[in-house]
Every structure is written in C-alpha cells, then in structure tokens.
C-alpha cells in the first residue's frame, strides 16, 4: 500500500463523497494520480463499496435487526468458509464474521418485522446441516456505528475563540 492509498482510504472512510479534486488537494497528488489509486484499490478489492451510514430510526421504514451467534460443526467437505458462504447467500444476512471464543459465526440479520426475522432463523438458518445452535439477540438501539455517533452528542467542547 502506498502512502497515497492509505491517505485516500482515511479520507474516503470519513466521507466517501469527497470530490476527486478535494482529495487531490488534500493529498498533494494530482487528480489523475488520485483517480488511478482509487481505481487500483477497487480492482484489488480493497475498496468494495461506498455506502452511507444511515440512522433508520429517523425514517419511517419498519426494520428489525438481530445479531445471531451461530455454532457450527465444520465437516470434511464443508469447512468454515463454505458454511459462511451458505449463510451469507441469504439476502436477509447483512454481515457474517468468523469469531474466536464461545461461538463460531456472528451473523447480522435484517428483516422488516420480528415475525419475519424469527421465520428466517427457524426456517432457514437453524435447519442448515452444519448449524448446531443459534443464540439471537435483537438490536434495541444504535449509539455509534462506523465511527459515527447517532445522537447529537458530537458537541465541540472547546472555547469558540481561543488564542
């Protein structure tokens, strides 16, 4: 990774809509260099997507989210990777992580209603051959995500003017 790429990742993480021109100014590189570094990172699948952090509670969309701890028994033809792939193919599944500790996979699931989510767990996830157990917890409130604080706690505590 070049220094330019690292800087660009920092900038994009903060605001992925930063115009190319601004990124060029901020890094001291030319617009062409910036564009091409970003293309490179997209090609190398370092940058996979650009998406905003959304506070859904402020919309009128109905939504339920759960984190499911999944225990699996990897088998001869089906290691963790294959099991994870099986699980993440479901549209309801937003994220899948392989974890250390008392369970194997952490699965983040989103559905429109509690009923739908429960139906997903009991109808699609639990019945999977390699799944030996699940523990589902519901997200009650989001405080902070991807470095963004959801409540208006972001106050600048400094004196407005100081020497």
Partner 1 sequence: MNYDRYLNQRIVSVPPSGIRRFFDLASSRKDAISLGVGEPDFRTPYPIRDAAINSLIDGETQYTANRGLLELREEISLYLSERYNVSYNPAEEILVTIGASEAIDLALRALVNDGDEVLVPDPSYVSYAPGVVFAGGVAVPVQTKQEDDFRLKADTLEKAITSRTKLLILPYPNNPTGAIMEKTDLEAIADVVRKHDLFVISDEIYAELVYGGHSHVSFASVSDMYSRTLTINGFSKSFAMTGWRIGYACGAAEIISVMNKIHQYAIMCAPRQGQVAAAAALRLGRENGYESVLSMRESYDRRRRLMVRAFRDMGLDCFEPYGAFYVFPSVRRTGLSSEEFCSHLLQEKNVAAVPGNAFGPSGENHIRCCYATAVDKINIALERMAAFVAEHS
The yes or no reply on residue 7 touching partner 1 (CB under 8 A) is yes
* Range in contact with partner 1 (rule: CB under 8 A) among 3-11, 60-68, 79-87, 127-135: 3-11
Select 127 or 147, whichever has its Cβ closest to partner 1. 147
34 vs 8: CA distance, rounded Å: 8
**Are 126 and 69 within 8 A, CB to CB?**
no
* Comparison of 13 and 94: residue with beta carbon closer to partner 1: 13
Neighbour-count burial of 70, counting CB atoms closer than 10 A to its CB (0-12 exposed, 13-18 middle, 19+ buried)? buried
Residue 147 engages partner 1 in binding (rule: CB under 8 A): no
Smallest separation, CB 9 to partner 1 (Å): 12
Closest distance to partner 1 from the beta carbon of 160 (Å)? 5
In whole angstroms, give the CA distance from residue 132 to residue 150: 36
Check if the beta carbon of residue 107 is closer than 8 Å to that of residue 87.
yes
**Binding piece for partner 1, criterion CB under 8 A, among 22-30, 43-51, 62-70, 137-145:** 22-30
Pairwise CA distance, residues 18 & 40, whole Å = 18
User: Residue from 1, 2, 10, 123 that binds partner 1 (CB under 8 A)?
Assistant: 10
Please list the helix, strand and coil fractions of the chain in percent, rounded to the nearest 5, in that order.
35, 20, 45
Letters for 24-43 (x = contact with partner 1 by CB under 8 A, - = none) are -xxxx---------------
Chain positions contacting partner 1, by CB under 8 A: 7, 10-11, 14-15, 18, 22, 25-28, 156, 158-163
């Amino acid at each position: 990774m070049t220094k330019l790429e690292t800087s660009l990742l920092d900038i994009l993480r903060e605001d992925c809509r930063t115009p190319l021109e601004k990124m060029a100014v901020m890094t001291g590189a030319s617009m062409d260099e910036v564009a091409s570094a970003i293309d490179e990172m997209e090609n190398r699948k370092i940058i996979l997507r650009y998406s905003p952090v959304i506070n859904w509670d402020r919309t009128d969309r109905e939504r339920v989210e759960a984190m499911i701890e999944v225990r699996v028994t990897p088998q001869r033809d089906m290691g963790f990777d294959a099991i994870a792939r099986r699980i993440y193919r479901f549209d309801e599944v937003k994220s899948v992580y392989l974890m250390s500790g008392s369970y194997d996979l952490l699965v983040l699931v989103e559905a429109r209603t509690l009923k739908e989510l429960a139906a997903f767990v009991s109808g699609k996830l639990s019945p999977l051959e390699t799944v030996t157990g699940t523990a589902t917890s519901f997200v009650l409130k989001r405080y902070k995500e991807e470095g963004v604080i959801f409540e208006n706690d972001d106050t600048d505590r400094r004196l407005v003017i100081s020497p």
